[in-house]
Every structure is written in structure tokens, then in C-alpha cells.
Amino acid sequence: MKPLYILDACAMLAVFAKEPGADKVVEIYMQAENSTAVLTMNKLNLLEVYYDIFRNYGKERADSFLAEVKKSPITIFHEITDSLFAEAGRLKATYKISLADSFAVAQAITSHGSLVTCDHHEFDTLDGKENVKFTWIR
């Protein structure tokens, strides 16, 4: 079975801004390009990236980024299933993480994938306490 990776917004922003850890995300992206891994992202987390780019670089750059994502090997999860909804709610209530981050972790848990992130501030409190695997990029 191919490894399954779920992108958090900070991982995608690391690539966009050429920050430390971007090389690890690009490596996973190339695995997805070569069909040796599956790369996904929740639409809510994609919204975080879109609005950050829009706010900092303008609508044209944000729209261009979104068009590139749509052509990429990243599968965007559009649906909030009942199980994803319940898991995200439980995580948000238990750990007081952001709404978008609760969906990223819930997506990783419910799909049995690894969350690709650099957001230690939000996720260190969950690491080792939940049935979630993290792929830390830095």
C-alpha cells in the first residue's frame, strides 16, 4: 500500500515561500507525482494557504497558486463526512487547536495517513496522545 500524506497549510506555505523544510514537502510531492505515494489536503486547509497568499501577494497570485494546485497530484478533500466532522470537533474541544488544524488532524486520523506539518505550536500537545502520525518538515 502506498503511503498517504495529508498536507497542513504550513507545509504548503513552506514550499511557496521557500522556507526551511520545503525540500521535504517537495520530496513527498515528487513521490505523489511518480505514483509511489498519495498526497491529499482538506479544502479548509487549502483555504488557509489561499487566504495567506491573497493577503500577502494579492488575488492574482492566490488564484494562480490555486490553479497550480488543481493541476497537481494533490487530491483535495471537499466533503466533510460525519466521522470527519465528529473527530474534528472532538480534537478542537480536547486540545483547543484552531478549527482548520482540527480538520487536518482529523483527516489524518480518519484516513490513517501522516500529517505533513511544521506546526509544533499547535500539534506538539497531540503528538503521542492521539492515533495520529506526523511527518515533521522541521
Question: What is the mean pLDDT of the segment spanning 1-27?
Answer: 96
Tens-place pLDDT, residues 65-79: 999 999 999 999 999
Q: Give pTM, 2 decimals.
A: 0.94
Q: How far is Cα 15 from Cα 69, in angstroms, rounded to an integer?
A: 12
Q: What is the CATH number of the domain that holds 33?
A: 3.40.50.1010
Tens-place pLDDT, residues 91-130: 999 998 999 999 999 999 999 999 999 999 989 999 888 9
Domain that holds residue 11: 4-136
- Per the structure, the count of domains in the chain is 1
Q: What is the CA radius of gyration of the chain?
A: 14
